[in-house]
Amino acid sequence: MAAVDDLQFEEFGDVATSLAANPDATTINIEGPGETPKRLGPPRGSGREEDDELLGNDDSDKTELLAGQKKSSPFWTFEYYQTFFDVDTYQVFDRIKGSLLPIPGKNFVRLYIRSNPDLYGPFWICATLVFAIAISGNLSNFLIHLGEKTYHYVPEFRKVSIAATIIYAYAWLVPFALWGFLLWRNSKVMNIVSYSFLEIVCVYGYSLFIYIPTAILWIIPQKAVRWILVMMALGISGSVLAMTFWPAVREDNRRVALATIVTIVLLHTLLSVGCLAYFFDAPEVDHLPTTAVVPNQTVVAAKSS
């Protein structure tokens, strides 16, 4: 690169060509790739209408574009997976809060995820839930059978693997099935709102958060308390899911839309009731004293049968 005239600016041409000419030269890239998606946050005014929040009209094009822009690395590089963990602490807390307080009319995906779905939340919430259920189940069984002379405490470690299989299968296979179903319906009916697979996984993951305190409270060996907790948890997380997916199916045939929402809530119910039934022994009707064990045990057996 000869400077013929010292007073004239040299044309270095395109970055690519100059790099090709001189591969060892360093170039400064001022425009970072991470800047574009983040600009999505602040310019959104709070004066948006409800419909926009639900439908995300001009939003969905932008989010599709930006989602495409963000994941530019090929899938076999580490950087590709780093884009799924691009969340800060306060963002994770915000998303958890959003899953705990479903506001009617606010869509969890549009409000909190905003085309930045993360895998941190779903993965660690599921991991915590697995251990919460296994440990709480173990504790609750221990407390229920505390007085019995014939009861020998076992840590029941097998149940951790079973819990892990159930929870992770639910958190990944059900979103996959739902995504496939929505994709299929999208090809038949033009839906305004469509979610990517990761956004669905994200919603499901964060909606499972309510079950962590529920599982801990299930230690209380009262049937009524447990069922009230089931209802409350189901109400909250079910409504988050229903409000998220209603805009995606409401353009469709009425029956199909309703059936989808009902199926989502039903599967959620199945998960919670199944976990309650399998990991937590039924609390006894009476808490019996430890003296005179044998005749009381037969009485209890007669009562529970």
Partner 1 sequence: MPQLMRAFNVFSNSYQFAGLSDISISQDIPVEGEITIPMRSRIREFDSSTLNESVQNTIMRDLKAVGKKFMHVLYPRKSNTLLRDWDLWGPLVLCVTLALMLQRGSADSENDGGPQFAEVFVIIWFGAVTITLNSKLLGGNISFFQSLCVLGYCILPLTVALLVCRLVLLAKPGPINFIVRLFVVIMMFAWSIVASTAFLADSQPPNRKALAVYPVFLFYFVISWMILTFTP
Residue 131 found at the interface with partner 1 (CB under 8 A): yes
Contact between 275 and partner 1 per CB under 8 A: no
Answer yes or no whether residue 12 interacts with partner 1 by CB under 8 A.
Answer: no
User: Quick one: 54 or 219, whose CB is closer to partner 1?
Assistant: 219
Q: How far apart are alpha carbons 259 and 239 in whole angstroms? A: 15
Write phi, then psi, for 35 (nearest 5 degrees).
Answer: -80, -35
Question: Which of 38, 62, 149, 158 touches partner 1 (CB under 8 A)?
Answer: 158
Longest dimension (CA), the chain: 110
Tell me which stretch binds partner 1 (CB under 8 A): 103-111, 119-127, 193-201, 259-267. Answer: 119-127
Selected range binding partner 1 among 19-27, 76-84, 228-236, 243-251, rule: CB under 8 A: 76-84
3-state DSSP of the chain: CCCCCCCCCCCCCCHHHHHHHCCCCCCCCCCCCCHHHHCCCCCCCCCCCHHHHHHCHHHHHHHHHHHHHHCCCCCCCHHHHHHHHCCCHHHHHHHHHHHHCCCCCCCHHHHHHCCCCCCHHHHHHHHHHHHHHHHHHHHHHHHHCCCCCCCCCCCCCHHHHHHHHHHHHHHHHHHHHHHHHHHHHHHHCCCCCCCCHHHHHHHHHHHHHHHHHHHHHCCCCCHHHHHHHHHHHHHHHHHHHHHHHHHHHCCCCHHHHHHHHHHHHHHHHHHHHHHHHHHCCCCCCCCCCCCCHHHHHHHHHHHHC
Q: How far is the CB of 121 from partner 1 (least distance, A)?
A: 10
Question: Does 227 sit near partner 1 (CB under 8 A)?
Answer: no
Q: Binding segment for partner 1 among 18-26, 107-115, 154-162, 172-180 (CB under 8 A)?
A: 154-162
Report the residue from 17, 22, 69, 82 that binds partner 1 according to the rule CB under 8 A.
Answer: 82
Which one, 72 or 161, has the nearer CB to partner 1? 161
The reply on whether position 156 binds partner 1 by CB under 8 A is: yes
Crossing angle of helices 223-249 and 197-207, in 10° steps, is: 160
Q: Does 92 bind partner 1 (CB under 8 A)?
A: yes
> Out of 9, 75, 76, 90, which residue is the one contacting partner 1 (CB under 8 A)?
90
DSSP conformation class of 2: -
Is 251 a binding residue for partner 1 by CB under 8 A? The answer is: no
Q: According to CB under 8 A, which residues from 159 to 178 bind partner 1?
A: 159, 161
- Min dist CB 129 to partner 1, Å, is 11
Which position among 54, 55, 87, 243 is part of the footprint of partner 1 (CB under 8 A)?
87
Q: Exactly one of 127, 228, 277, 299 binds partner 1 (CB under 8 A); which one?
A: 127
Among 89, 150, 291, 298, which residue sits at the site for partner 1 (rule: CB under 8 A)? 89
Residue 41 sits in the site that holds partner 1 (CB under 8 A): no
Site residues (CB under 8 A) for partner 1? 1-3, 78, 81-82, 84-85, 87-90, 92, 120, 123-124, 127-128, 131, 135, 138, 153-159, 161
